[in-house]
Amino acid sequence: MDIETLTRPCVRIVSPYFPGKPIAEVQRELGLKKVIKLASNENPFGASPRVLAFLRRETAEVHLYPEGASPVLRRALAELHGLSALNVVVGNGSDEVIRLLCEAFLSPEDDVITSQYGFIRFKQQAMMMGARVIEVPMADWRHDLETMARAVSSRTKMVYIASPNNPTGTYNSKEEVHDLLKALPATTLLVIDEAYYHYAVHEGDYPRQSTDLVRKFPNLVVLRTFSKAYGLAGLRIGYGVGDAELIGWLDRIRMPFNLGLLSQRAALEALKDTAWLKKGVSVVTKERDALAKALRDLGFGVVDSAANFLFAGSPCPGRVLFKRLLKSGVIIRPLDEYGLTHHVRISIGAPAENRALLAALRSALDGANP
Ligand SMILES: Cc1ncc(COP(=O)(O)O)c(C=O)c1O
């Protein structure tokens, strides 16, 4: 029997997501001891020592189910944003919140609008619900919100932007976001994915307080994650804030214990260590600007980034560069799945990792390590 014919047609057309190549896999495949991963925009300094110490103490209760709705974490997040716990849903990574939004709201009759090089996970998830994905071309590698607003029709259920965007690292200004919100009909949801918020928030025109806007716009959902600046990618913690009724629907369809016991508690602890968060962000942004310059000197077309990674046109095909760097034990991200065969995305590492990257790049580009 052909199992494929049993699957939903929209499941068949979705390509799988290719995450950054894991360190353990490269170690196994190439027999390398030391591998540097600059492929998934993780925090190169790890989680706060306070969170790590807390986790070591907190393992005694792992035989118990966690509180299903993560009430304490939701309250803490609500407080952080000056909202009610009813305005917050937590997910197994913000990826789960994207999934919940698509599952709750999208049907095959719906259109979603996103941009051409917008974060691919949203497109995949929307397609899995059978929705039609309309991709609006970017302008200078930024979401063109005016054109996106013009593309809205009575079929448009959702508009999704990541700001800063993955993989381009670009963001949209407060004014642009505001104009888009004003242009959208109340029946079209706007999802703003702020996974890289902490790296962008010091940019003068970045919308620092988009979470405040959910009070005024019940069709707005803002997503955040603990996977980047908080350094907790392995614990899978993300959340969305929005109108209480809308959030209530997401909460209703999530898995009963979607966030693990340690994840809920670690997130609470991480919220308390703002000094660690700020320090990591400050080092990463300085390193990012220095790395951008060094890459430009090597012939890369680097796009200005407001995130913890760089998006760059590569002097050779991205996949070729990826393979050459792997041999030196450095993992970067080729972008073929976006149709960008001559671009790469490189996460900002710790200073020594960035130096190792540059050395590996020099020999890869010389062809000395083919
Ligand atoms: C824009 C964006 N949104 C969401 C995610 C998913 O993050 P999480 O680890 O919270 O699922 C990522 C991860 O890279 C991302 O880049």
pLDDT in tens, the chain (370 residues): 799 999 999 999 888 888 888 999 999 999 999 999 999 999 999 999 999 999 999 888 899 999 999 999 999 999 999 999 999 999 999 999 999 999 999 999 999 999 999 999 999 999 999 999 999 999 999 999 999 999 999 999 999 999 999 999 999 999 999 999 999 999 999 999 999 999 999 999 999 999 999 999 999 999 999 999 999 999 999 999 999 999 999 999 999 999 999 999 999 999 999 999 999 999 999 999 999 999 999 999 999 999 999 999 999 999 999 999 999 999 999 999 999 999 999 999 999 999 999 999 999 998 644 4
pLDDT of residue 19: 85
Distance 365 CA to ligand 1 centre (A): 30
| CB-based contacts of 318, cutoff 8 Å, min separation 6 | 334, 335, 336, 340, 341, 342, 343, 344
* 85 touches 78 (CB < 8 A): yes
The protein residue with its alpha carbon nearest to ligand 1, atom 6, reads 95
Task: Identify the residue whose C-alpha is closest to ligand 1 atom 8.
Answer: 93
Q: Give the model's pLDDT for residue 200.
A: 98
Q: Is 308 in the pocket of ligand 1 (CB under 6 A)?
A: no
Q: Ligand 1, residues 121, 305, 310, 348: which to mutate, most atoms within 8 A of Cβ? A: 121
3-state secondary structure of 55: helix
What class is the 49-272 domain?
alpha beta
Distance, CA of 168 to CA of 312 (rounded, Å): 8
CATH of the domain spanning 3-47+275-366, picked from 3.10.20.30, 1.20.140.10, 3.90.1150.10, 3.30.70.20: 3.90.1150.10
Among 130, 334, 129, 83, smallest CA distance to 224 is for 83
Cβ–ligand 1 contact at 164 (below 6 Å): no
**225 touches ligand 1 (CB under 6 Å):** yes
Q: How far apart are CA 158 and CA 165, in angstroms?
A: 17
Q: 369 CA distance to ligand 1 centroid (A)? A: 32
Query: What residues contact 124, with CB distance under 8 A and at least 6 apart?
Result: 14, 15, 17
- The DSSP code for 241 is E
Instruction: Report the atom number in ligand 1 closest to the C-alpha of 228.
Output: 9
CA 16 from chain center: how many Å? Answer: 17
Preceding amide of 370 cis, omega within 30: no
Ligand 1 nearest atom to the CA of residue 95, by list position: 11
Structure tokens at 156: 């448009």
Residue 276 contacts by C-beta under 8 Å, 6 or more apart in sequence?
A: 48, 49, 50
| CATH topology identical between 3-47+275-366 and 49-272 | no
Q: Is 94 in the pocket of ligand 1 (CB under 6 A)?
A: yes
Q: Domain-by-domain residue ranges, the chain?
A: 3-47+275-366, 49-272
Q: Which atom of ligand 1 is nearest to the CA of 94?
A: 10
Q: Which pLDDT score, from 0 to 100, does residue 42 have?
A: 95
Report the distance separating Cα 335 and Cα 313, nearest Å: 10
Cβ(335) – ligand 1 distance below 6 Å: no
Tokens of 84: 């009610």
Distance 164 CA to ligand 1 centre (A): 11
Distance 13 CA to ligand 1 centre (A): 22
**Mutational test site, ligand 1, from 225, 254, 305, 311, max ligand atoms within 8 Å of CB:** 225
- d(CA 195, ligand 1 centre) in Å: 6
Q: What is the pLDDT of residue 367?
A: 62
| C-beta 307 within 6 A of ligand 1 | no
Give 40 Cα–ligand 1 centroid separation in angstroms: 9
Q: CB 347: neighbour CB atoms within 10 A?
A: 27
Asked whether 119 lines ligand 1 (CB < 6 A), one says yes
DSSP-based three-state secondary structure for 177: helix
Cα distance between residue 335 and residue 310, in whole Å = 12
